[in-house]
Amino acid sequence: MNKKWEFYNQAEDRVKEVSEKFHINEILSRIILNRGITEDEKIRVFLEPKRTDFYDPFLLPDMEKAVNRILEGINKNEKIIIYGDYDVDGITSITVLKKFLEERGIKVGSHIPNRLEEGYGLNKNAIKQIADDGYTLMITVDCGISGIDEIEYANSIRNRNNNNRSS
């Protein structure tokens, strides 16, 4: 299958202006302008974002609940694992979060599914193995929202293990 880049018609003078002003090649300039990012300040933010340019993560649903659960796991010295997909977003997400936590002295494992054996997203066999390995907190990154059955399965393992500990 042959793929071909398609560019919308842009004013050539604006493409050149953005390229020169931001020291980028004209292809990148066209891509940015094609995305509708046309104001200089928005182009700067796109190319060189600062921490203050990102959206507030607490605007995501249940973010406070997730953060509190992670803090609880850290405070209780739980065994923590980060589970992400094998694509570039998943690997990057695992790496960034793992580095962040480890720089704070928190030891965490990671799991990237084998594309051929486990497929894409969460899977029950991996979740069982993670639980069998003693992990009590699994943080998922870049796994989407379609893993409802797998999350229910993970919660059932956690609940079963919690009941066994209290018996």
How confident is the model at residue 26, as a pLDDT?
93
**Mean pLDDT, the chain, as a whole number?**
89
Cα of first residue to Cα of last residue in the chain, in angstroms, is 59
Q: What is the pLDDT of residues 141-166, one digit of tens each?
A: 988 677 788 888 988 987 777 766 65
Q: What is the pLDDT of residue 142?
A: 86
Domain ranges in the chain are 12-53, 57-166
pTM value surpassing 0.85:
no
Surface-to-core class of residue 10, CB atoms within 10 Å of its CB (0-12 exposed, 13-18 middle, 19+ buried): middle
Write the CB contacts of 69 (distance below 8 Å, at least 6 apart in sequence): 137
Contact present, 82 and 94 (Cβ < 8 Å): yes
For residue 139, which phi and psi values (nearest 5 degrees)? -100, 120
- Six token digits for residue 20: 């020169």
What CATH topology corresponds to 57-166? inorganic pyrophosphatase (n-terminal core) (3.90.1640)
Contact 121, 144 (CB under 8 A): yes
